[in-house]
Amino acid sequence: MAALLASARARAVEYEEKHGDSSGEDDGESEQFQRGNKDTSRRSFDKMFKQVVDSADVVLYVLDARDPMGTRSREVERQVMSMNGGEKRLILILNKIDLVPPPVLKGWLTYLRRFFPTLPLKASNGAPNAQSFDHKSLTVQGTASALLAALKSFAHSKQLKRSVTVGVIGYPNVGKSSVINALTGRLGGSQAACPTGADAGVTTTLREVKLDKKLKILDSPGIVFPSTDGAKGPMADEQARLVLLNAVPPKQIGDPTGAVQLLIKRFSTSEMLFQKLLDVYGIPPLPNISLNELTKSFLIEVARKRGRLGKGGVPHTHSAAIAVIIDWRDGRIQGWIDPPFATSNVTAGIKAASSGTVEADQKEIVSQWMEEFKLEGLDGYDETPEVEMEG
């Protein structure tokens, strides 16, 4: 472990030399990310994020199982790893697993475990009429119990005189507060230790919840983390992406049409998913036309089906687009991003990648952390799951 810690510290120094002190002033951008209070600046949320990570012994990074990489920032992971000489522990939590089929979940778990220990979680029972999948033993109670057992194992192994602090980070509306409520529920406590809601921005301040005498957890407001590669597309494209990540409350969406167009673009690569989208609204097959025209035709049909009509019976496409976004947010529309490798080829893909992109010390750190948290076999994931629809 001495070599591993030396390597982590070296990366920490390298990170600080490249990026400077993250506690200092920002780069001058005055951009504000609205989270219920329009006067709340991005800087204040960044400050709370740093406070959570500084205080935490273990950081739970909550990702949306439908789009793990879209809700993941490698930059944030590097920041966590660079703090305190590499002594922090980071666990990826794949939440909302009931919204993806078992083979997709299995593929993402296998892929993400190349980088950090990763646990599947069903933190809540989801919205009414959500199109969900049955993952057998991966229930709200079972997955929360597995996570709690892992945290208790770590706390016990450290034998600290103080409580082990667990910080929870992630994008808005990925279910951070639901994760905490699931954990407290497993302890027989309140199921609503932290307020939750479908819209982004329910948690607006730092909140501490005591799990037991050895564990306490910090809930933080969701933050839209900077892109890992630093690349920035057109503002409209970025807004559409954030809308589909549920990081923007519907009331604050300026032009929802762009997000629906991005959704249709993604679904157009899968005949099955696109047909399911049409089936949600009872829309007949649409003609093979340009993406812009296809989006317009789709929203006109949705407006008609949902009675979103203006004066003279003119379809109100803006209102229809908001309805589609809310249906997507609540899981009534099925959709997901496939893992980098097909499930059947994931082992071969990892072996090929491990020679270059996955550093040997990173793999050893993951293995060491898995042992600290007693994670081997803890999630009870069936190696040959069957797809079974609910609802």
**Per-position DSSP letters for 221-267, written without gaps between them:** ----PPPSS-----HHHHHHHHHHTT-S-GGG-S-THHHHHHHHHHH
CA nearest to 91, candidates 10, 178, 162, 179: 179
Query: How far is the C-alpha of 154 from the C-alpha of 156, rounded, in Å?
Result: 5
Q: Is the pTM of this model over 0.85?
A: no
3-state SS of 152-164 is HHHHHHHCCCCCE
pLDDT average, residue stretch 185-206: 50
DSSP one-letter string for 78-147: HHHHHGGGGT-EEEEEEE-GGGS-HHHHHHHHHHHTTTS-EEE---S--STT---B--TT--HHHHHHHH
SS3 of residue 219 by DSSP: strand
Question: Which contacts (CB < 8 Å, 24+ apart) does range 380-386 have?
Answer: 380/137, 380/138, 380/142, 380/146, 381/105, 381/106, 381/109, 381/120, 381/137, 381/138, 382/102, 382/136, 382/137, 383/106, 385/102, 385/103, 385/106, 385/135, 385/136, 386/102
pLDDT-wise least confident of 5-14, 20-29, 140-149, 222-231: 20-29
d(CA 116, CA 363): 8
In CATH, which of 1.10.10, 1.10.1580, 1.20.1460, 1.10.3470 is domain 235-329? 1.10.1580
**Sequence-separated (6 or more) residues with CB below 8 Å from residue 114:** 350, 353, 354, 358, 363, 366
pLDDT above 60 for 63: yes
Q: What is the pLDDT of residue 161?
A: 80
Q: How confident is the model at residue 284 (pLDDT cuts 50, 70, 90)?
A: very high
Q: Which of 83-92, 206-215, 335-344 has the highest mean pLDDT?
A: 83-92
Phi then psi for residue 368, to 5 deg, are -65, -45
The helix or strand, by DSSP H or E, that contains position 52, with its residue range, turns out to be: helix 42-55
Sequence-separated (6 or more) residues with CB below 8 Å from residue 19: none
3-class SS of residue 361: helix
pLDDT digits (tens, 9 = 90+) for 4-18: 334 444 444 343 344
Domain limits of the chain? Answer: 6-22+38-228+359-372, 235-329
Q: Is the pLDDT of residue 69 over 60?
A: yes
User: pLDDT class for 389, splitting at 50, 70, 90?
Assistant: very low
Lowest mean pLDDT among 76-85, 133-142, 209-218, 220-229: 220-229
CA atoms of 231 and 224, how far apart (whole Å): 15
In this structure, the strands spanning 215-219 and 89-95 are unpaired
Structure tokens at 378: 């803890």
Residue 139 is predicted with a pLDDT of 86
- 156-164 long-range contacts, CB within 8 A, separation 24+: 156/214, 157/372, 158/57, 163/210, 163/213, 163/214, 163/215, 163/216, 164/57, 164/58, 164/214, 164/215, 164/216
Top pLDDT among 384 and 203 is at 203
* Band of residue 124 on the pLDDT scale cut at 50, 70, 90: confident
Report the sign of the C-alpha dihedral through residues 142, 144, 150, 155, in that order.
negative
CA distances from 330 to 201, 316, 321, 323 (A): 16, 22, 14, 11
pLDDT (mean) for 117-132: 86
How far apart (Å, rounded) are the C-alpha atoms in residues 323 and 327?
6
Share of the chain above pLDDT 90, in %: 37
**Digit-coded pLDDT (tens) for 315-356:** 999 999 999 999 999 999 999 999 987 444 444 444 444 344
Sorting pLDDT into bands at 50, 70 and 90, what band is 26?
very low
Based on the number of CB atoms within 10 Å of its own CB, is 347 exposed (0-12), middle (13-18) or buried (19 or more)?
A: exposed
Is a pLDDT exceeding 70 seen at residue 53?
Answer: yes
* Higher pLDDT pick, 160 / 218: 218
Pairing of strands 207-212, 58-64: unpaired
Residue 204, pLDDT > 90, answer no
Quick check: 100 pLDDT over 50?
yes
Give percent above pLDDT 70 in the chain: 71
The CATH code of domain 6-22+38-228+359-372 reads 3.40.50.300
